[in-house]
Amino acid sequence: MTEVEPPLVDVRDDRLARAKALVDAGSFTEFGSEARHQVHAFDMQRKRPAGDGVVTGVGRVHGRPVGLFAQDPTALGGSLGAVHAGKIARILDHAGRARCPVVGLLDSGGARIQEGVAALDGYGEIFRRNVALSGRVPQVSVVLGPCAGGAVYSPALTDIVILQRDRAHMFVTGPRVVKAVTFEDVSLGDLGGADVHGRTSGVASLVAEDAEQALELARRVLGYLPGSCWEAPPTYAPGDPGPMPAVPEDHRLPYDVRDVIAGIVDGGSFLELAAGFAANVVVGFARIDGQAVGVVANQPRVLAGCLDIDASEKAARFVRMCDAFGVPLVTLVDVPGFLPGTGQEARGIIRKGAKLLYAYAEATVPRVTVILRKAFGGAYIVMNSKSLGADAVFSWPGAEIAVMGAEGAVDVIYRRELEADPSRRDALIARYRDEAMAPHIPAERLSIDEVIAPAQTRAVVAATLRSLAGVWQPGFRHDNLPQ
């Protein structure tokens, strides 16, 4: 163990500088700076960079301990051999024992070819530890360069994946192999760049424009999470929310639910995750009265806010991550239902929608729901309803809550009447709205705790969360299984 003082003059400078930039100034202590591979084959004794291509150590972020590793592409391409893997495994073990988060800065040519199976086994050792730590301590991956082959599975097992735009490339099979097998010509970026993982695959939680921003985002994420599941999430000075926007009364008109989130949470505290992927559901960390919360909200601007496969998986993983780390959940509902169609059914909306249902039903953190405009059918139940165990469900006065929308409902229950006299449709729709959809109906049977005005929302949610402060208990709840 050595205390590292700047300036340093070897190829590890850049990664050391990054490791140091991630942690609080002066707080980095390096482990294993003299480690070198022991390989003799392929003339490898001629290339034995100090540290074996990875900087590992401990430091503090926001004054709290973290473990970290930073791969160095200037040393053997950042490739992973037995010693390199052993250093990372030690830091993961250290974080597990110390019950502190671990951050990895990834930039590597993958398994060190000269080390063969020893390199592959090194990955296995890392994956096993990623899984053992899952749900126990937060794990953050910052991908600053290539991350190829099975190496992608370490970040995929962690809680948060941050990609540096233009530099990070993640794929299981690289362009050359793709070309050989499928004859498809594809660039690194089109195969595994930030756009692919930020928008289509859902691998990226956050995309940063440069390394500096990537590290800043990692620090910011850690600011919402506890050191481990045995610690309460950190609290900060309360901030004022933004103004609550007027949401269109016509349920078919879109609006941006992030404006409503801004009207509830402490100003500037919302950090949206996976913003470009499955944008029909919005998830992210925020603070209310200085207390970290996880926000899940249907987004009426995209697919009218319907839940589909991607949205269900995105929200399910976020709910499970928040629950694992004791972060209370605030759910904002404006959902017409699950996205209908053969594509969704055949690809498994039953199986995948069930993940979100499972995640909410399992969650033991404080859970508060606000129904903004509509909540129909299965999606009403899934979005943290009272019956799934929500601590409190509120509704805005104009909300419609029912088995289905009025038009669809009257076509089913008044089919014969409408065949006899189609002109009655509007009147029947109005009657259904009155008798089956208004929020006072579920409020009468305690499915909704209180109907509240939009302007009251922040105060009511904050007061409810305060009242639930005693819910938090230290302890392992569950892992954060990738989905």
Q: Does residue 327 touch ligand HXC according to CB under 6 A?
A: no
Active site residue 150: yes
Q: Which of 116, 124, 150, 267 is catalytic?
A: 150
Q: What is the rounded CA–CA span in Å between residue 267 and residue 434?
A: 37
Nearer to ligand HXC, 154 or 280 (CB): 154
64-71 and 102-106 beta bridge pairing:
parallel
Nearer to ligand HXC, 79 or 457 (CB): 79
Size of the site for ligand HXC (CB under 6 A): 17
Query: Under a CB-based contact definition with an 8 Å cutoff, are residues 373 and 405 in contact?
Result: no
Q: What is the rounded CA–CA span in Å between residue 202 and residue 275?
A: 9
Q: Does residue 193 touch ligand HXC according to CB under 6 A?
A: no
Nearer to ligand HXC, 13 or 231 (CB): 13
Q: What is the rounded CA–CA span in Å between residue 158 and residue 324?
A: 13
Q: What is the rounded CA–CA span in Å between residue 483 and residue 475?
A: 23
Query: Under a CB-based contact definition with an 8 Å cutoff, are residues 316 and 483 in contact?
Result: yes
Among 18, 84, 112, 197, binds ligand HXC (CB under 6 A): 112
Q: Does residue 83 touch ligand HXC according to CB under 6 A?
A: no
Among 135, 138, 149, 193, binds ligand HXC (CB under 6 A): 149
CB of 19 to ligand HXC, least distance (A): 20
Q: Does residue 44 touch ligand HXC according to CB under 6 A?
A: no
b/e per residue 320-341 (b: at least 16 CB within 10 A): bbbbbbbbbbbbbbbbbbbbee
CB of 114 to ligand HXC, least distance (A): 6
Q: Residue 292 pairs with which residues in a beta bridge? A: 287
Residue 422, C-beta contacts closer than 8 angstroms, at least 6 positions apart:
none
Category of 43 on φ-ψ map: left (φ > 0), alpha (ψ -120 to 50) or beta:
left
Q: Which of 32, 77, 135, 149 is catalytic?
A: 149
CB of 205 to ligand HXC, least distance (A): 22
DSSP state string for 314-381: HHHHHHHHHHHTT--EEEEEEE--BPPSHHHHHHTHHHHHHHHHHHHHH--S-EEEEEEEEEEHHHHH
Among 18, 52, 104, 123, binds ligand HXC (CB under 6 A): 123
Q: Kindly report the number of other CB atoms within 10 A of residue 381's CB atom.
A: 16
CB of 316 to ligand HXC, least distance (A): 26
Among 57, 59, 101, 110, binds ligand HXC (CB under 6 A): 110
Q: Does residue 186 touch ligand HXC according to CB under 6 A?
A: no
Nearer to ligand HXC, 109 or 198 (CB): 109
Q: What is the rounded CA–CA span in Å between residue 59 and residue 23?
A: 6
Among 100, 102, 111, 306, binds ligand HXC (CB under 6 A): 111
105 φ, ψ to 5°? -105, 110
Among 10, 26, 62, 113, binds ligand HXC (CB under 6 A): 113
Nearer to ligand HXC, 107 or 400 (CB): 107
CB of 71 to ligand HXC, least distance (A): 11
Active site residue 53: no
Identify which range of 148-156, 199-207, 227-235, 431-439 contacts ligand HXC by CB under 6 A: 148-156
Category of 128 on φ-ψ map: left (φ > 0), alpha (ψ -120 to 50) or beta:
alpha
Nearer to ligand HXC, 56 or 114 (CB): 114
Indicate the residue type of 110.
Answer: G
Instruction: Tell me the CA distances in angstroms from 269 to 108, 224, 236, 261, one per residue in order.
Output: 33, 10, 10, 10
Nearest partner of 289 among 459, 62, 64, judged by Cα: 459
Site string for ligand HXC, 155-174 (x = CB under 6 A): -------------------x
Active site residue 149: yes
Q: What is the rounded CA–CA span in Å between residue 195 and residue 277?
A: 10
CB of 317 to ligand HXC, least distance (A): 22
Identify which range of 104-112, 134-142, 229-237, 414-422 contacts ligand HXC by CB under 6 A: 104-112
CB of 193 to ligand HXC, least distance (A): 13
Active site residue 475: no
Query: Under a CB-based contact definition with an 8 Å cutoff, are residues 353 and 317 in contact?
Result: no
Q: Which of 148, 151, 194, 379 is catalytic?
A: 379
Q: Which of 96, 377, 378, 408 is catalytic?
A: 378
Interface ranges with ligand HXC (CB under 6 A): 76-77, 79, 109-114, 120, 123, 146, 148-151, 174
- The catalytic residue positions are 149-150, 378-379
